Amino acid sequence: MTDTLETKTMHEPLPGIVRKLWLGEATAYRDHLLRLDPDSRHRRFSGAVADEVIVKHAATAEDLGVVIHGFFVDGTLRGAAELRHIGDMFSRQAEAAFSIEKDWQSHGVGTALLERTLLSARNRGVKSLQLNCLADNRRMQQLAKKFQADLKFDFGSVVGELDAPRFTPLSVMREAFDDAHGVATAWLDAQAKLFKTA
Ligand SMILES: CC(C)(COP(=O)(O)OP(=O)(O)OC[C@H]1O[C@@H](n2cnc3c(N)ncnc32)[C@H](O)[C@@H]1OP(=O)(O)O)[C@@H](O)C(=O)NCCC(=O)NCCS
């Protein structure tokens, strides 16, 4: 059987690490969202939003039913993919939103984050995943298109819908492996930084 969640990019290795955000990292998420340049902020939130709205939004990062994958460079969060159940955490409907700081756009980070997000959505039984984005957001649409085996398209505000949910012991194991790998890599990263400063 073909694994439709395999990496679909020929990019160079990412210049940072991808892992889920841990408890206590809502402030890192807030700071990342506040650092977005005006255009990226506008695209991320589908319109103009004030700093206070972002601060409030980031404070919900640790709510039940929210899974955030982050892209870290030297310990700083530079990109994020937010998966959020619509309704309660057992709902089959969810939405996803992506934010990558300008200097790290077009390096394959969005691809890596969407791949992880799709895996997490499947493993949580999500049937309908909405990727809301502005109609002129070509890059996000191009990104979603790379996963057209997993997503159905309806261009406009909603980009994609996940096909029937299917999680298997293997897909659950794969997410667990990614999580363990994220912890190990973050630990090694911290050790390397300690060595550098020593
Ligand atoms: C949209 C966004 C998530 C895409 O992530 P990214 O890391 O820049 O995208 P990737 O490098 O993984 O590229 C994905 C695909 O987009 C297309 N793409 C990348 N850079 C592009 C560019 N400069 N112009 C046009 N298309 C581009 C390519 O098809 C690419 O796939 P490929 O490199 O395999 O051909 C990111 O740019 C971003 O956060 N933008 C600001 C906020 C936003 O728009 N959020 C989406 C709404 S929720």
Best of 43, 142, 159 to mutate for ligand 1, by most ligand atoms within 8 A of CB?
142
pLDDT in tens, 66-107: 999 999 999 999 999 999 999 887 888 899 999 999 999 999
Give distance in angstroms: CA of 151 to centre of ligand 1: 16
Q: Which atom of ligand 1 is nearest to the CA of 99?
A: 39
Q: Which atom of ligand 1 is nearest to the CA of 112?
A: 12
Atom 20 in ligand 1: residue holding the nearest Cα: 106
Give distance in angstroms: CA of 83 to centre of ligand 1: 18
DSSP 46-86: TS---HHHHHHHHTTTTSTTEEEEEEEETTEEEEEEEEEES
Domains of the chain (ranges, CATH numbers): 17-197 (3.40.630.30)
Please determine, for residue 178, whether its predicted confidence score (pLDDT) is greater than 70: yes
pLDDT value at residue 164: 58
**Beta pairing partners, 73:** 76
pLDDT value at residue 176: 85
Mean pLDDT value across the chain: 85
Mean pLDDT confidence for 47-61: 96
Atom 18 in ligand 1: residue holding the nearest Cα: 139
> If residue 94 lies in a helix (H) or strand (E), which one and from where to where?
strand 93-100
DSSP for residue 111? H
Give distance in angstroms: CA of 198 to centre of ligand 1: 38
Best of 106, 116, 136 to mutate for ligand 1, by most ligand atoms within 8 A of CB?
106
Task: Round to whole Å and give the CA distance between 25 and 41.
Answer: 20
pLDDT value at residue 138: 87
Residues enclosing ligand 1, CB less than 6 A? Answer: 9, 40, 43-44, 97-100, 105-111, 133, 137-140, 142-143, 146
Give this prediction's pTM.
Answer: 0.87
- At 177, the amino acid letter reads F
Please tell me the chain's helix, strand, coil percentages from 3-state DSSP, rounded to the nearest 5: 40, 20, 40
Best of 139, 140, 157, 158 to mutate for ligand 1, by most ligand atoms within 8 A of CB?
139
Give distance in angstroms: CA of 144 to centre of ligand 1: 9
